[in-house]
């Protein structure tokens, strides 16, 4: 176990191999729509793009659907707006499950308002792609990424960042010697009624449920349900409650949230269980039939570039680990490979388990 307070301890992990394995089961299903694009490459600011920048500025609008919280979504749009002031960028934010339901409903009704979309788990992105939801766009910035982080297949979406979660606790209410040191320690009766999680609409929560069930079997979450955890929509809510002492324990403590609140001197400590930390790749791409396609392509190039990745990795309301080859360390000097991450590798099985997760999680939180 590794407990992270002021000076984190780290462990190594072969991250690329995990995502490469995740791509294999579905690549064959999607290859039929993949086609080569030939677009002129131009340089704008300090990155390259195949978008027609003049047309993008003439379109003047970008609508981005994202799972991020309000502050994080606004930060990304503000950064893009600053670089391209002629394009008014706006967003809609919901947890991934709710976001996906919304866009599917809109498309079924013949509404195509969205230009680019980001999901917090690759399984949802793959399902959206199988439905024809993403448009094909080969960004010239793709060369800075390992192929495992592009699609599958390449050109439909890319890994715009990585988020992962451990355990966190309030240091004013829990002594270090009493704090959990492993995931199974969350089942101790002392944490009943004082533990928080996210709701079933969270892609990160889905991945944690899936990975810990693989480690410990179905009995783990059945036992966890007896703790009567509190479920919330966003990581900001989880860490606000933890910092105030409304909850003693957070069972889905995303590293990005911990870093933000730690920097604010909140009484919070982070635990990285030795078994690993559930992790999920953010998946972002241009939406098929985007009303502002050139602005959408420009946004994807910007986000894939070192310029955009620095925003995602450094902004305190985002703090996602970048998988770009030349990305600098995350705040605090750590890199993704410094953590043992648990990343789903059988995406077919992951997708097939979504209904079971929704039912079990909503029952646990009293939402059914």
Total domains in the chain come to 2
Looking at the structure, tell me whether residues 88 and 187 fall in a common domain: no
Q: Which pLDDT score is estimated for 246? A: 97
The residues near 136 (Cβ < 8 Å, ≥ 6 apart) are 33, 34, 35, 37, 155, 156
Asked if the structure places residue 185 within a domain, the reply is yes
HEC string of the chain equals CEEECCCCCCCCCCHHHHHHHHHHHHHHHHHHHCCCCCCCCEEECCEEECCCHHHHHHHCEEEEEECCCHHHHHHHHHHHHHHCCCCEEEEEECCHHHHHHHHHHHHHCCCCCCCEEEECCHHHHHHHHHCCCECCCCCHHHHHCCHHHECCCCCCCEEEEEEEEEEEEECCCCCHHHCCCCHHHHHCHHHCCCEEEECCCCHHHHHHHHHHHHHHCHHHHHHHHCCCCEEECCHHHHHHHHHHCCCCEEEEEEHHHHHHHHHCCCCEEEEECCCCEEEEEEEEEEECCCCCHHHHHHHHHHHHCHHHHHHHHHCCCCCCECCCCCCCCCCCCCCHHHCCEECCCCHHHHHHCHHHHHHHHHHHCCCC
Looking at the structure, tell me whether residues 114 and 259 fall in a common domain: no
Q: Which pLDDT score is estimated for 16? A: 39
Looking at the structure, tell me whether residues 24 and 48 fall in a common domain: yes
Looking at the structure, tell me whether residues 61 and 133 fall in a common domain: yes
Give the chain's radius of gyration (CA, Å). 20
Q: Which pLDDT score is estimated for 334? A: 86
Q: Which pLDDT score is estimated for 19? A: 44
Looking at the structure, tell me whether residues 94 and 113 fall in a common domain: yes
The CATH code of the domain that includes 306 is 3.40.190.10
Looking at the structure, tell me whether residues 53 and 134 fall in a common domain: yes
Q: Which pLDDT score is estimated for 190? A: 97
Looking at the structure, tell me whether residues 300 and 216 fall in a common domain: no
Task: With a cut of 50, list the residues of the chain below it in pLDDT.
Answer: 1-2, 5-36
Looking at the structure, tell me whether residues 195 and 247 fall in a common domain: yes
Domain that holds residue 154: 17-162+281-332
Asked if the structure places residue 338 within a domain, the reply is no
Looking at the structure, tell me whether residues 273 and 314 fall in a common domain: no
**Residues 235, 236, 241, 245: what is their CA dihedral angle, to the nearest 10 degrees?**
100
Q: What is the pLDDT of residues 18-62, one digit of tens each?
A: 444 344 333 433 333 333 357 899 999 999 999 999 999 999 999
């Amino acid at each position: 176990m590794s407990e992270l307070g002021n000076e984190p301890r780290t462990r190594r992990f072969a991250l690329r191999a995990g995502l490469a394995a995740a791509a294999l089961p579905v690549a064959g299903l999607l290859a039929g729509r993949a086609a080569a694009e030939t677009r002129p490459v131009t340089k704008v600011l300090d990155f390259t793009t195949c978008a027609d920048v003049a047309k993008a500025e003439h379109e003047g609008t970008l609508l981005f659907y994202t799972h991020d919280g309000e502050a994080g979504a606004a930060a990304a749009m503000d950064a893009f707006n600053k670089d391209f002031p002629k394009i008014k960028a706006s967003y809609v934010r919901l947890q991934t499950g709710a976001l996906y339901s919304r866009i599917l409903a809109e498309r079924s009704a013949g509404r195509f308002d969205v230009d680019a979309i980001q999901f917090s788990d690759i399984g949802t992105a793959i399902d959206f792609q199988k439905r024809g939801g993403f448009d094909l766009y080969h960004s010239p910035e793709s060369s800075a990424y390992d192929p495992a982080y592009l699609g599958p297949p390449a050109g439909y979406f890319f890994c715009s960042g990585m988020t992962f979660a451990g355990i966190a606790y309030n240091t004013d209410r829990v002594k270090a010697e009493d704090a959990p040191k492993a995931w199974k320690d969350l089942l101790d009766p002392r944490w009943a009624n004082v533990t928080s999680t996210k709701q079933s609409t969270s892609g990160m929560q889905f991945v944690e449920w899936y990975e810990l069930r693989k480690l410990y079997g179905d009995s783990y979450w059945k036992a966890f349900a007896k703790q009567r955890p509190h479920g919330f929509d966003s990581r900001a809510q989880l860490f606000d409650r933890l910092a105030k002492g409304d909850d003693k324990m957070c069972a889905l403590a995303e590293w990005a949230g911990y870093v933000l609140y730690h920097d604010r001197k909140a009484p919070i400590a982070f635990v990285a269980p030795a078994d690993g930390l559930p992790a999920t790749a953010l998946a972002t791409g241009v939406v098929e039939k985007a009303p502002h396609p050139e602005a959408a392509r420009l946004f994807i190039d910007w986000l894939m570039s070192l310029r955009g990745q620095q925003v995602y990795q450094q902004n305190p309301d985002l703090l996602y680990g970048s998988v770009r080859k030349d990305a600098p360390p995350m705040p605090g000097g750590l890199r993704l490979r410094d953590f043992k991450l648990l990343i789903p590798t059988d995406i077919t099985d992951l997708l097939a388990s979504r209904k079971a997760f929704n039912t079990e999680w909503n029952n646990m939180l009293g939402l059914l």
